[in-house]
Chains A and B, each alone.
Chain A
């Protein structure tokens, strides 16, 4: 019982932002032994680790769930794609994306289901990416496929800032790297007749450069204050 009180007291001191050393000093002055304090700290750490594992498990489950739903929706659309009109196709894409975004935001912000909400936001971003390629296909837009990934990356970055989701930042980074790897650089293109920039607008690339730079700078500004000394 006594140790439970001590744990709660340490927890409250930690929440106040006190360091381990300060807490040790304070408790030693109050007459607690080093072993008892150490034991209480160990219990707090064990409890926190357990909570972290549980949170991680939930995050993994709901993220996989979101991806599976995305795959399911698109396999359904692909199966019935030919029979749909252009308007139906566009409406399906927009509705699916909007409902995922709205549902995710609602669950996260209003119902405090952080993990599930984030998973739905991720699903929305995946649908958006797929939508970019599907719309290009529906309207026969000519372009290099990495351009699609650039558009996906840019849209996801904006959404990530809007909803403050790091999961979306990770997705944007992934899309960005796929785009970069996808471009057979001019140096390779020079050795063949294929022109890698035939259909790509340099302005799209310029916008991608600016957006990624600004995103990096803005995210960097959010760095926790205790890490500032390293920069």
Chain B
């Protein structure tokens, strides 16, 4: 349901973007899907080429008696795709190749987890680390005009990844999943996963420091990223969480444990704050796409929460009233800021004249 709505939303968003495609360097030019028909055609050909490369490697591999695993071929094709994406600044190839790389790590991690019966939460957390790295890479790439669209790819992928996983964890299914995926051996039993986390963390801290030193992100944004990183580190180290007191399999008889209630409240507040944060960030950076993305996600969140059983015990009306008040206050602050900005611009104009 969540994914279906997200896909529909993204398609609508893309159609609006295609309609708005214009040439030249205007405000928000980097959001254009294509700059020109030449750009569109070349982008698709490069994407086709990268995809054919993957299939070609698979076919040769098959003919040679499978000397390589399909995961290795996925890695190879994705790395080449990323190189093509960077060299030619073709964002579709880059986006698909990055997803290929994430997919490769996910499959490998699943294999390592299965081998040593490690907590599956390690996989989740790894993906969250990657998403955060993507987001920071997006910010790091923003400085140069040539990489502005590349930065959009990273930022959008990162934001969608993180929001989706937090969305999931804030629902009943997410809590159930968290209960089962925190069961198992520690990730330290696998050197591959431990090494992966070490690399992710080192990378994440490195880019965070870099973006902060170059003033590419706000301090509040850096604090939020730091908070999420610490949260992911805590989640990965958690012992098994018993979220439910009874599990009869149907909604009526399912009751959350005290820890379950704490996590449910925590994740629901977190996702809400994250989305308001996206809108606020868009407002601070004067980026309409961030505001629209945040509003779109909030709309989906409200829609899903309305049907989510979890709020029957919290009382739906309280949630909606709370969310409404919060949004009104945010809106009021934004309008106030806008008025202040407009009056400052007017003042400047008058001074010039």
Which one, B51-59, B201-209, B295-303, is touching chain A?
B51-59
A220 interface hit (Cβ, 8 Å): yes
* A212 in complex: contacting residue of B48, B60, B89, B146, CB < 8 Å: B48
B349 interface hit (Cβ, 8 Å): no
A226 to B39, CA, bound (A): 12
The answer on a CB contact under 8 Å between A231 and B36 is no
Which one, A61-69, A121-129, A177-185, is touching chain B?
A177-185
* B41 in complex: contacting residue of A169, A183, A197, A208, CB < 8 Å: A169
Chain A positions within 8 Å of B89 at CB level: 230-231
Shortest CB-to-CB span from B223 to chain A, Å, is: 33
B45 interface hit (Cβ, 8 Å): yes
The answer on a CB contact under 8 Å between B38 and A185 is no
Shortest CB-to-CB span from A75 to chain B, Å, is: 30
B44 interface hit (Cβ, 8 Å): yes
A173 interface hit (Cβ, 8 Å): yes
Which A92-146 residues sit within 8 Å CB-CB of chain B?
none
A164 to B316, CA, bound (A): 60
Chain B positions within 8 Å of A169 at CB level: 41
Main secondary structure of the interface of A (DSSP, over half): helix
A230 to B49, CA, bound (A): 22
A208 to B60, CA, bound (A): 14
Contact with B along A190-218 (1 / 0, CB 8 A): 10000101001110011011101101110
The answer on a CB contact under 8 Å between B23 and A205 is no
A210 to B46, CA, bound (A): 10
Chain A positions within 8 Å of B35 at CB level: 223, 227, 230
The answer on a CB contact under 8 Å between B36 and A209 is no
The answer on a CB contact under 8 Å between B56 and A226 is no
A216 to B51, CA, bound (A): 13
A224 interface hit (Cβ, 8 Å): yes
A220 to B90, CA, bound (A): 10
The answer on a CB contact under 8 Å between B36 and A227 is yes
A229 interface hit (Cβ, 8 Å): yes
A87 interface hit (Cβ, 8 Å): no
B62 interface hit (Cβ, 8 Å): yes
The answer on a CB contact under 8 Å between A226 and B23 is yes
Take A166-B41, A187-B70 as given contacts and tell me if A209 and B23 are in contact as well, using a CB distance cutoff of 8 Å. no
Chain B positions within 8 Å of A230 at CB level: 25, 29, 35, 89, 145-146, 148-149
Can you spell out 29 A-B residue pairs with CB atoms less than 8 angstroms apart?
A166-B41, A170-B41, A176-B45, A176-B48, A183-B55, A185-B54, A185-B70, A187-B74, A195-B62, A197-B59, A200-B59, A206-B56, A206-B60, A208-B52, A208-B56, A209-B52, A209-B56, A212-B52, A216-B41, A216-B44, A216-B45, A216-B90, A219-B45, A220-B38, A220-B88, A223-B35, A223-B42, A230-B25, A230-B29
